[in-house]
Structure 1
Amino acid sequence: MQPTRLGEVRVLARFDRAAGQVAESIALGPDGSAAIGMIRARQVVRVAQDGTTRTLVSMPTPPGGGTTPVVGSSAVTGVARAADGTLHFLYSGGRGGMTGIWRLDGEPRLVVELPADSMPNALVADGDRFLVTDSTGGRIWQAPVGGGAAAVWSADPALAPDGFFGANGLKVHDGAVWASNSDHGTLLRIPVTADGGAGTAEVRAEGLAGVDDFDFTGRGDEVLAAINLAGELVRIAPDGSRETLLDGMRGTTAVVVRDDHAYVTNGANHAETGSNLLIAELLRG
């Protein structure tokens, strides 16, 4: 089987970096639209298939500014859809009663509160539970999809940060939870035990400094990963080896695979312009 390659790559939508639209995460809808979390603008926006963009929600700045760990300001990060299609997103407000998982069904509503000193980053809906990476706490939280109390699912040392962000991207795949660690440049596999708990994390790839989000291509354990610091999209083979498929981007933050296409966000974290959403054709050979 030949490794996955990229065909045509095009910009689907451009965002206003000057207004804080640092594109961070992607949740695809059944109609082919994409919900994008915008860190500094504290927004979730919807991008239609034709590239038309509209804002779904803008979160308020908390009283006093809402200082958050490492990042500093309040931020919207991960987005995900529950099985019923309802959109959820993560908001870090730097205070209790604001930081956690919010449900967007009409007016936004906090359904799972997380500690004010946490930095929730990636959000996954896995059946009847949510899983959330906490980048500064070095852990993965779990909580009921219907809302309720959160509990630590894993605090494996492999998730810990080393000065900035530890656990970052998150996916559930083939009986395990996979996470990236930005500071350590690793891709981790955490087995799910028979009772739904966490086994011991194992490193499946390393040398990925600044790795952010990732997704599976549908070909076993082959992965496409966003390397934020380098502005690259890389393919990680099942044996852990890597190959750069796309470079020259500005703060690559997220990737989602659907059928024969990959959606990739540029956050422009380290630049003044260039925040956008790309769509890339996948050639599977």
Structure 2
Amino acid sequence: MPRLPQLPAVAAVTAAVALLAAAPPPDGEQTVSRPRIVAHFDITRGQTPENIALEPDGSADLTFSVARQIAHVTKQGHTHIRATLPAEPNPRTPLVGDDIVLGIARAHDGTLYVTYATGTGKTGVWRVAPGGRPRQIAQLPANGLPNAIGLDERRGVLYVADSVLGTVWRVPQAGGTPTAWATGTALEPVPASEGGFGVGVNGLKVHDGAVWVSNTDRGTLLRIPVRRNGSAGEVETRATGLGGIDDFAFTGRGNTVLAALVISNELALVRPDGTHTVVLTQEDGLSNPTSVAVRHRTVYVPSGAFFTLRDPNLLLARLGEGGHGG
């Protein structure tokens, strides 16, 4: 989540809601331990990690939102820039103002797909083939904020969460015209008159026959079934009280989730019944965590430092033994 001027005003309230909603961990459930920062980034160069996709060898591809870059980070913390998206001379991105790269997804052949928000015709989905340059494959509304992106290679489609327009877009993987796949109040931001700060549907994952999304303003985790014909089913609320939720990841094949709570500098374990427990905090090294990835027993958490303005980083931790959720 890029820095928004409205957020600091509600940070304390949102963090308090998150803490009040947290439930104590039951015996025998998954744990997150041994956190360590493997890479520190330079905020003065716009190296603010927003989203993450993992490579087969356990290395990570990160979007540096402000720098408009895709960075590759090894598990030892070595970093190099894979691609930089073309600058927009006159960006008019809603809420943010600047041109920023947000979500990222990886295909099995190594192709990367990212969302780029500029407030102009460059807004949309961009593809970076292995060794290639970024190329726009779909244009999304300039008055929106395309955020997280998920790939369903079986169906050959991409899903994009638009945080301003409260829409999940469906885009052909090969590129082309997007479709407003899911809309509705559950995906929309909360009006400013009701205490919202303009960020609705935010994180997104394709998981077990459904598209799961978070809503930052509403503090919710939602599941949208994919019907046999590819259309969206009814939106299901799976968890509430997740104040300042950004992106998230599943811990395995079940429905247990690790969610980045960007404002309160926390990582929460969200159980299938909707209750949650904070498992990492700012004391562990989190600095406005923006997204999560899980590979086997390794948890990856990028921190963008959008509000702390201190130590953007990539943190790795260990997922403890236990079930994979229900």
What's the TM-score bracket when you normalise by the shorter of the two chains? over 0.9
Indicate the SS of the match to 2:170: strand
Structure 1 partner of 2:42: 16
Instruction: After superposition, give the CA deviation of every residue in 1:185-226 in whole Å (9 maximum; x if it has no partner).
Output: 000111111211111111111111110001111152111000
Structure 2 partner of 1:156: 184
Which residue, 83, 90, 93 being the options, matches 1:57? 83
The offset of 1:2, in angstroms, is: 2.4
Instruction: After superposition, give the CA deviation of every residue in 1:87-116 in whole Å (9 maximum; x if it has no partner).
Output: 1211112101x1111111211110111111
Which segment drifts farther, 81-90 or 274-283?
81-90
Q: Which amino acid aligns with 1:72?
A: G
Two-structure CA RMSD over aligned residues (Å): 1.2
Matched, 1:259 2:296: yes
Matches of 1:51 and 1:27 in 2, distance apart? Answer: 15
Matches of 1:186 and 1:172 in 2, distance apart? Answer: 17
Q: Which amino acid aligns with 1:134?
A: D
Q: Which amino acid aligns with 1:275?
A: P
Structure 2 partner of 1:104: 128
Give unmatched runs, 5+ long, in structure 1. none
Indicate the SS of the match to 2:273: coil
Q: Which amino acid aligns with 1:195?
A: N
Matches of 2:33 and 2:100 in 1, distance apart? Answer: 34
Structure 2 partner of 1:84: 109
Alignment of 1:104-253 (within 5 A): 104-105=128-129, 106-127=132-153, 128-162=156-190, 163-218=197-252, 220-248=254-282, 249-253=286-290
Q: Which amino acid aligns with 1:250?
A: S
Conservation of the 8 A alpha-carbon contact between 2:162 and 2:168: yes
The offset of 1:272, in angstroms, is: 2.1
Conservation of the 8 A alpha-carbon contact between 1:90 and 1:102: yes
Indicate the SS of the match to 2:290: strand
TM-score after normalising by structure 1: 0.96
> Identity, % of aligned pairs?
46
Conservation of the 8 A alpha-carbon contact between 1:75 and 1:91: yes
Indicate the SS of the match to 1:252: coil
Q: Which amino acid aligns with 1:59?
A: L
TM-score after normalising by structure 2: 0.84
Instruction: After superposition, give the CA deviation of every residue in 1:72-101 in whole Å (9 maximum; x if it has no partner).
Output: 1110001111232211211112101x1111
Conservation of the 8 A alpha-carbon contact between 1:139 and 1:154: yes
Give unmatched runs, 5+ long, in structure 2. 1-26, 191-196
Conservation of the 8 A alpha-carbon contact between 2:149 and 2:160: yes
Instruction: After superposition, give the CA deviation of every residue in 1:18-56 in whole Å (9 maximum; x if it has no partner).
Output: 211111000111122211001111111110222110111
Q: Which has the larger helix fraction?
A: 2
Structure 2 partner of 1:283: 320
Q: Which has the larger strand fraction?
A: 1
Indicate the SS of the match to 1:253: coil
Structure of higher RCO (CA pairs closer than 8 Å, 6+ residues apart): 2
Q: Which amino acid aligns with 2:123?
A: T
Which residue, 96, 103, 119 being the options, matches 1:94? 119
Matches of 2:258 and 2:308 in 1, distance apart? Answer: 23
Matches of 1:145 and 1:115 in 2, distance apart? Answer: 18
The total of aligned residue pairs comes to 283
Conservation of the 8 A alpha-carbon contact between 1:250 and 1:268: yes
Matches of 2:99 and 2:74 in 1, distance apart? Answer: 27
Q: Which amino acid aligns with 1:109?
A: R
Instruction: After superposition, give the CA deviation of every residue in 1:253-285 in whole Å (9 maximum; x if it has no partner).
Output: 000111011100111011222100011111023
